[in-house]
């Protein structure tokens, strides 16, 4: 079966068969996507994570089809209708829609009008009518045949009832006919229209959906965000939504298939075909396209969410610095926490620099004292309520005005979710939610990835209609994205939290907790080999995880790099050949030695060690444990604007991209209202994908197009402006 799957997937994804086959073998052997991508390039031909994930997804879909085929074959066989020809056809079909079309006439269903008619013995009469209607001409009178089927004992009291029953059978046959379904389906593929209308009496409540009160668009052109908006309006009871094809064309094709003449039989069949289309076939295809269009819209929305989440997780970290974090507020004050370079909580307090208490001097003195006492190197401010006012207050302190302490504003999205979570309670059982939230704000500055993995990705506001899409598929995609990001960066096994370790290739929650427990009982790990002592850390788990776990100042300098332990031997051989130590090959000091290495000498087919892995090893020796994330840049909002009322059309303002959708990007310009740069306003050229112009958390310059104070909306443009500050 693996060979068949490899062939099908190879054709579907246009990836060479051998590469697909090798990837499937590795996946079947329990290898993770990050491990395969990073450490099995020779086997896969250098496939990246996206390609490997696509192969895994296609495999899962084929396995589902395979299970479905088993169920279908068993059901038809139990009915005694499974011919050898039908079996072969089902076994050779891997298209889910085609498979269901084949199965439809045999699928158990509730008692239909057609089944009732069949029980009355009218199926032969229905077949007679179909035969007569499909002939080029028909001279056999219906009246002579219908008499044979009038039977009061069976409930057929007259010719009219016999004809009506036969028409019910024909209508169901039409709706279950593969060719007929294919014909109507093709019409929907080319010509289907999606429409929405306001539910009567809901106009006041449904204002946010006013664009869809009387909306109609070709389904194939309907963008995912519009379709999901309509479906949300429908779910909330504000809109009626429908999908329809071209009925006239569909009926013309169906009549051409089933009715070839204008005889009495032909007219009876034509009426049955019309009934079968309107009552059975059309609703079925409409439902099918409603589902498939929703699935496509879900895929697009999930793709956008995944891309945004990846950018967010890979945001620039400040690194291990002593941080003071502020969770801003007016009436309740600003929560202050001081963290050491590892993110441990040293102190927490509250200051009231803003109205109504306005204890400005006291707050200023307290901040200066805390900065001095805890040797603070950076200040992190949440971007919620009172953020701009708090930033202004902080930048007026002596310690920040002279540049000794840098000031950063970070996103609070999901911080409240984290502060009330079990993870936060486990970390800080004796602190309240305000302290936990402030700690999260500080840690996000130090290492966004390490902190954000503690939060359900669905709670981070970087998506588009994420609550409306398939939640199972969304969770799978988001978890896969988090895993990819964590393994790209790698983690220090001696400082990483359980939540961060959970996403390391091959670990998962149980092994992550075991690593933390072992560390607590035995002290810091001194080598990667020591990981084998962790309970339940078997050979496979060690193989999958070791390359992504870093140990600084350990026994082996390679333990602080992405070189996998299985390849240590080749680095040791290089050092031996050069008559030096392994440590002499690492970093800038080893550049001259590395230049003398001929990689071709170390290619080893038995060990699966080829040039791709050797080149990765050399790159890692040059910059061991390098962080792929960009360095953090300082940013300041315009001092001209603090609220939406301060904004004027034509103003040019600095901003930060906070969310990206397929219709544009939202930008924070520091007025507590996210402005929208529509896709048509992102550049002087045509833009198909907003991500080709901006990225999450990018610093941009925007021009104010429109300010709508009544609706609290801000329209922005990037045309003719520099994209980055």
pLDDT digits (tens, 9 = 90+) for 67-89: 999 999 999 999 999 999 999 99
Residue ranges in 539-681 assigned as alpha helix (H): 539-545, 568-577, 591-594, 611-622
Are 34 and 87 in a shared domain?
yes
**Distance, CA of 291 to chain centre:** 18
Are 329 and 416 in a shared domain?
yes
Final residue belonging to a domain, choices 622, 657, 689? 622
CATH assignment of the domain containing 408: 3.30.420.140
Final residue belonging to a domain, choices 562, 591, 622? 622
Alpha-carbon distance 466 to 482, whole Å?
A: 16
CATH assignment of the domain containing 286: 1.10.3500.10
Alpha-carbon distance 92 to 113, whole Å?
A: 33
Are 272 and 135 in a shared domain?
yes
Give me the pLDDT at residue 634, please: 82
Q: How confident is the model at residue 446 (pLDDT cuts 50, 70, 90)?
A: very high
* Residue-number span of the structural domain to which 590 is assigned: 502-622
Are 586 and 683 in a shared domain?
no
Q: What is the pTM (predicted TM-score) of this model?
A: 0.85
Whether residue 217 contacts residue 268, with contact meaning beta carbons closer than 8 Å, is answered with no
Average pLDDT rounded to a whole number, residues 576-605: 91
Are 166 and 25 in a shared domain?
no
Are 541 and 611 in a shared domain?
yes
Alpha-carbon distance 689 to 300, whole Å?
A: 12
Q: Does 118 have pLDDT greater than 70?
A: yes
Give me the pLDDT at residue 88, please: 95
Q: Does 139 have pLDDT greater than 70?
A: no
Average pLDDT rounded to a whole number, residues 619-630: 87
Q: Does 725 have pLDDT greater than 60?
A: no
Alpha-carbon distance 435 to 511, whole Å?
A: 29
Please indicate, yes or no, if residue 111 is contained in any of the structural domains: no
Per-residue burial over 100-114, b = 16 or more CB atoms within 10 Å of its CB, e = otherwise:
ebbbbebeeeeeebb
Are 348 and 268 in a shared domain?
no
For residue range 13-39, what is the model confidence (pLDDT) as tens digits?
999 999 999 999 999 999 999 999 999
Least confident span in 6-10, 194-198, 398-402, 662-666: 398-402
Q: Does 220 have pLDDT greater than 90?
A: yes
CATH assignment of the domain containing 554: 1.10.150.310
Are 351 and 300 in a shared domain?
no
Q: Look up residue 553 and give its two tokens.
A: 């100042």
**Mean of the per-residue pLDDT values for the chain?**
91
Average pLDDT rounded to a whole number, residues 400-404: 83
Whether residue 701 contacts residue 652, with contact meaning beta carbons closer than 8 Å, is answered with yes
The DSSP secondary-structure symbol of 280 reads: I
Please indicate, yes or no, if residue 123 is contained in any of the structural domains: no
Give me the pLDDT at residue 49, please: 94
With a CB cutoff of 8 Å and minimum separation 6, the contacts of 80 are: none
- Please provide residue 159's backbone torsions phi and psi, each rounded to the nearest 5 degrees: -65, -40
Residue ranges in 558-652 assigned as alpha helix (H): 568-577, 591-594, 611-622
CATH assignment of the domain containing 693: 2.40.50.140
Give me the pLDDT at residue 630, please: 85
Whether residue 696 contacts residue 659, with contact meaning beta carbons closer than 8 Å, is answered with yes
Percent of the chain with pLDDT over 90: 72
Instruction: Specify the number of domains making up the chain.
Output: 5
Q: At what angle do helices 611-622 and 568-577 cross, to 10 degrees?
A: 70
Q: How confident is the model at residue 712 (pLDDT cuts 50, 70, 90)?
A: confident
DSSP 7-31: HHHHHHHT--HHHHHHHHHHHHTT-
Q: Does 605 have pLDDT greater than 80?
A: no
For residue range 172-189, what is the model confidence (pLDDT) as tens digits?
999 999 999 999 999 999
Please indicate, yes or no, if residue 580 is contained in any of the structural domains: yes
Please indicate, yes or no, if residue 422 is contained in any of the structural domains: yes
For residue range 247-262, what is the model confidence (pLDDT) as tens digits?
999 999 999 999 988 8
Whether residue 167 contacts residue 133, with contact meaning beta carbons closer than 8 Å, is answered with no
User: Counting runs of H as helices and runs of E as strands, what totals does the chain give?
Assistant: 30, 15
Give me the pLDDT at residue 125, please: 93
Angle at 669 between CA 640 and CA 716, to 5 degrees: 105
Are 72 and 159 in a shared domain?
no
For residue range 652-662, what is the model confidence (pLDDT) as tens digits?
999 999 889 88
Q: Does 50 have pLDDT greater than 90?
A: yes
For residue 253, count other CB atoms closer than 10 A to its CB.
18
Alpha-carbon distance 193 to 137, whole Å?
A: 37
Nearest to 424 by CA among 454, 380, 460, 384: 454
Are 509 and 582 in a shared domain?
yes
Are 555 and 687 in a shared domain?
no
Average pLDDT rounded to a whole number, residues 486-495: 93
Whether residue 424 contacts residue 474, with contact meaning beta carbons closer than 8 Å, is answered with no
Beta bridge partners of 339: 323, 345
CATH assignment of the domain containing 57: 1.10.10.650
Q: Look up residue 623 and give its two tokens.
A: 């910059």
Give me the pLDDT at residue 171, please: 96
What's the Rg (C-alpha) of the chain?
33
Alpha-carbon distance 379 to 376, whole Å?
A: 8
With a CB cutoff of 8 Å and minimum separation 6, the contacts of 507 are: 501, 515, 541, 544, 545
Please indicate, yes or no, if residue 35 is contained in any of the structural domains: yes
Q: How confident is the model at residue 417 (pLDDT cuts 50, 70, 90)?
A: confident
Give me the pLDDT at residue 441, please: 94
Q: How confident is the model at residue 626 (pLDDT cuts 50, 70, 90)?
A: confident
Per-residue burial over 23-32, b = 16 or more CB atoms within 10 Å of its CB, e = otherwise:
bbebbeeebb
Percent of the chain with pLDDT over 70: 98
Please indicate, yes or no, if residue 651 is contained in any of the structural domains: yes
Residue 243, helix vs strand vs coil: strand
406: left (phi over 0), alpha (psi -120 to 50) or beta: beta
For residue range 320-331, what is the model confidence (pLDDT) as tens digits?
899 999 999 999
Q: Does 267 have pLDDT greater than 90?
A: yes
Please indicate, yes or no, if residue 196 is contained in any of the structural domains: yes
Are 516 and 427 in a shared domain?
no
Please indicate, yes or no, if residue 496 is contained in any of the structural domains: no
């Amino acid at each position: 079966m693996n060979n068949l799957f490899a062939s099908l997937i190879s054709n579907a994804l246009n990836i060479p068969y051998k590469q697909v086959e090798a990837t499937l073998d590795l996946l079947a052997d329990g290898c993770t996507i990050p491990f395969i991508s990073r450490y099995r390039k020779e086997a896969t031909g250098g496939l990246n994570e996206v390609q490997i994930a696509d192969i895994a997804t296609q495999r899962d879909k084929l396995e589902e089809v395979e299970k479905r085929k088993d169920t279908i074959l068993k059901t038809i066989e139990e009915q005694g209708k499974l011919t050898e020809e039908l079996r072969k056809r089902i076994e050779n079909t891997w298209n889910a829609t085609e498979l269901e079309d084949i199965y439809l006439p045999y699928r158990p269903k509730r008692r239909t009008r057609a089944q009732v008619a069949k029980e009355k013995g009218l199926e032969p009469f229905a077949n007679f009518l179909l035969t007569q209607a499909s002939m080029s001409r028909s001279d056999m009178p219906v009246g002579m045949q219908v008499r044979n089927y009038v039977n009061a004992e069976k409930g057929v009291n007259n010719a009219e009832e016999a004809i009506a029953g036969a028409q019910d059978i024909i209508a169901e046959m039409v709706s279950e006919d593969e060719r007929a379904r294919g014909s109507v389906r093709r019409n929907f593929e080319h010509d289907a229209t999606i429409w929405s209308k306001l539910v009567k009496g809901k106009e006041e409540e449904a204002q946010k959906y006013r664009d869809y009160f009387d909306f109609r668009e070709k389904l194939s052109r309907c963008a995912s965000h519009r379709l999901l908006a309509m479906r949300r309006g429908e779910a909330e009871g504000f809109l009626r939504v429908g999908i329809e094809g071209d009925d006239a064309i569909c009926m013309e094709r169906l009549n051409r298939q089933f009715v070839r003449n204008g005889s009495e039989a032909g007219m009876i069949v034509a009426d049955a075909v019309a009934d079968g289309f309107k009552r059975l076939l059309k609703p079925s295809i409409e439902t099918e396209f409603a589902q498939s269009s929703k699935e496509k819209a879900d895929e697009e929305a999930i793709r956008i969410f995944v891309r945004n989440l990846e950018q967010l997780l890979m945001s620039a970290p400040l690194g291990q610095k002593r941080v003071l974090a502020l969770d801003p507020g007016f009436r309740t004050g600003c929560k202050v926490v001081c963290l050491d370079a590892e993110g441990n909580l040293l102190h927490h307090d509250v200051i009231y620099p803003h109205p109504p208490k306005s204890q400005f001097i006291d707050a200023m003195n307290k901040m200066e004292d805390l900065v001095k006492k805890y040797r603070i190197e950076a200040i992190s401010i949440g971007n919620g309520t009172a953020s701009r006012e708090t930033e202004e207050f902080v930048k007026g302190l002596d310690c920040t005005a002279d540049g000794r302490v840098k000031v950063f504003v970070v996103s609070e999205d999901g911080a409240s979710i984290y502060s009330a979570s079990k993870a936060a309670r486990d970390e800080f059982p004796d602190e309240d939610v305000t302290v936990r939230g402030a700690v999260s704000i500080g840690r996000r500055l130090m290492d966004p990835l390490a902190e954000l993995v503690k939060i359900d990705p669905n709670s981070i506001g970087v998506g588009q209609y994420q609550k409306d899409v398939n939640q199972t598929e969304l969770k799978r995609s988001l978890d896969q994205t988090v895993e990819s990001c964590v393994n790209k960066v790698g983690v220090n096994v001696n400082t990483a939290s359980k939540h961060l370790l959970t996403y390391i290739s091959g670990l998962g929650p149980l092994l992550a907790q075991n690593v933390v427990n072992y560390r607590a009982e035995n002290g810091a790990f001194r080598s990667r080999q020591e990981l084998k002592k962790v309970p339940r850390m078997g050979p496979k788990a060690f193989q999958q995880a070791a390359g992504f776990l870093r140990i600084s100042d350990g026994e082996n300098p390679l333990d602080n790099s992405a070189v996998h332990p299985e390849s240590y031997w080749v680095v040791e051989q290089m050092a031996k050949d050069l008559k030096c130590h392994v440590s002499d090959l690492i970093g800038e000091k080893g550049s001259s030695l590395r230049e003398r290495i001929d990689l071709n000498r170390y290619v080893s087919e038995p060990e699966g060690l080829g040039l791709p892995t050797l080149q990765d090893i050399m790159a890692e020796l040059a910059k061991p444990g390098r962080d792929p994330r960009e360095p953090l840049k300082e940013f300041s909002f315009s001092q001209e604007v603090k609220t939406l009322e301060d904004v004027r059309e034509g103003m040019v303002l600095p901003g930060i991209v906070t969310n990206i959708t397929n219709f544009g990007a939202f930008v924070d310009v520091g007025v507590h209202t996210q402005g929208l740069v529509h896709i048509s306003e992102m550049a002087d050229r045509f833009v198909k994908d907003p991500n080709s112009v901006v990225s999450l958390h990018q610093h941009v310059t925007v021009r104010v197009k429109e300010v709508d104070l009544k609706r609290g909306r801000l329209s922005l443009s990037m045309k003719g402006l520099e994209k980055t500050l």
